[in-house]
Every structure is written in structure tokens, then in C-alpha cells.
């Protein structure tokens, strides 16, 4: 019997925060993936040797809420093992915060929430980064977060925004954290807007936040996908 090739493991923290277009980009690159819902019934984490790489998605909880979400303790331990083993690792939003925490950096509530379309600025390191340099130096991305983190020791800052200094970082050559979301399409964004509590969050940021998000779909989503595709091609090359 042929043993199946290791696949990318995607850690999901909420049903509505799945891999989205990341799954499609991996499939296009010939890379298999599977999801593990870490918030459900104390799931069994696989062995590190059985995965080709790790993608850690976003979620509504904070890294510092381990007593409320005890699965975070096991997840962080697993994340540290994957990094130590040299696996390609990508964290998105909460995922980036979990990577930063696993590397010893502080994660904490930001003074402002960053929700909706906004520009990031690539740093000098970001402009030279092999996964990020094919894009615009100031691309539009989608944000939905209230926490931020310090840059882990030994990591390189790749991007910042006007409200959040650490928008993207690289640790070594195969571990990346992105505070912004690259996995979204139109249906996912509309689903997020319909989630319980979303209306209050949006209103707290500004009365036009919801309308600005929807108005930006036709013009901003294509640019987001142009940003995500070469980035995920770099991740797929690291897997192969």
C-alpha cells in the first residue's frame, strides 16, 4: 500500500474563518491540505513528521485567553514543534499572533481596532522578500483585528500600516506571520459581516465601515488576490 504524501495542515479556530482562497492556491500548486478544527472536542494533533507544512488561520479569541480557550495551550506547543522541525509555517491574523507568541513575543490588545480595507507599506526587507516582492510596495489588504504583537526576536519586519507597526514578519526563511487577511473572497467577507456581534464591532470603528467594505469588493478584492497568489506560490515552493 502506498503511503499518502504529507499534506499541509490548516488549523481553524472558527467555522467561518477557514482557508478560503489559500486552499485554492495550494490546489493550483499541486499541494494537498486538510483542516483541523482546534476548537472542537479536544482534537488529536498529528505528528509533526506527518505534515508537510502548517497554516494557522484567524479567530475571534486572543492569544492571552488560554483559560477561556484551553486548546490554545496545545496548539502553541504544536506550533513550536513545527517551527523547530523546520516546517513551512504561515499564520494569518490570530495565526500570526500565535506564531509571535510561540517565538516569545508579547501579544496584547491594541489601542484601536483595524477593520476593513487599508494599505500596508512594505519595509526594505519586505521589498526584497522572495514571497512578497512581486507585489506593489503599498498594496491594499483586508484587516479585522483588535490585538497586536511585538516583533519576535530574530524576526524581520516585512510590512507595517498606519495603525499597526507589525503587519507582516518572517522568521528564518520558512515561517511567516501576516496580521492582515489574504484568504478572503466576496462570499467570505459577506459571511463575516453577518456574524453575531459584527455589526457592533463595525459601528464602533466608524458608521461607514460596513458600507466601505462592501463598496471596496469590486476594486480591492482583485488586488488582494494578486497579492496572495505569488505569496502562496512561495509557500508552495517551500513545501515542495
Question: 175 with 83: CB under 8 angstroms?
Answer: yes
Burial 71-81 (b: 16+ CB within 10 A, else e): bbeebbebbee
Among candidate residues 225, 78, 80, 231, the one with its CA nearest the CA of residue 142: 225
Grid coordinates representing 209 are 465601515
DSSP state of 199: H
Grid coordinates representing 177 are 506571520
Catalytic machinery residues: 93, 181, 183
d(CA 175, CA 54) in angstroms, rounded, equals 9
Assign 44 to helix, strand or coil. Answer: coil
Among candidate residues 221, 160, 234, the one with its CA nearest the CA of residue 188: 221
DSSP state of 167: S
Amino acid at each position: 500500500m502506498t503511503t499518502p504524501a504529507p499534506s499541509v495542515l490548516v488549523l481553524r479556530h472558527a467555522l467561518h474563518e477557514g482557508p478560503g482562497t489559500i486552499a485554492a492556491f495550494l490546489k493550483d500548486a499541486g499541494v494537498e491540505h486538510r483542516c483541523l478544527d482546534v476548537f472542537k472536542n479536544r482534537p488529536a494533533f498529528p505528528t509533526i513528521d506527518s505534515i508537510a507544512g502548517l497554516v494557522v488561520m484567524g479567530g475571534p479569541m486572543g492569544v492571552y485567553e488560554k483559560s477561556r480557550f484551553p486548546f490554545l495551550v496545545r496548539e502553541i506547543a504544536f506550533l513550536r514543534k513545527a517551527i523547530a522541525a523546520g516546517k513551512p509555517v504561515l499564520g494569518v491574523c490570530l495565526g500570526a499572533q500565535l506564531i509571535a507568541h510561540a517565538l516569545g513575543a508579547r501579544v496584547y490588545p491594541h489601542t484601536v481596532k483595524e477593520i476593513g480595507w487599508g494599505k500596508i507599506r512594505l519595509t526594505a526587507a519586505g521589498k526584497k522578500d522572495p514571497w512578497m516582492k512581486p507585489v506593489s510596495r503599498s498594496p491594499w489588504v483586508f484587516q479585522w483585528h483588535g490585538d497586536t504583537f511585538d516583533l519576535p526576536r530574530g524576526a524581520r519586519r516585512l510590512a507595517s500600516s498606519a495603525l499597526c507597526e507589525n503587519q507582516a514578519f518572517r522568521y528564518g526563511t520558512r515561517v511567516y506571520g501576516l496580521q492582515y487577511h489574504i484568504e478572503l473572497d466576496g462570499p467570505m467577507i459577506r459571511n463575516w459581516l453577518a456574524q453575531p456581534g459584527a455589526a457592533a464591532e463595525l459601528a464602533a470603528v466608524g458608521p461607514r465601515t460596513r458600507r466601505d467594505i462592501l463598496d471596496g469588493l469590486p476594486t480591492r478584492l482583485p488586488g488582494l488576490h494578486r497579492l496572495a497568489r505569488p505569496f502562496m506560490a512561495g509557500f508552495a515552493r517551500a513545501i515542495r
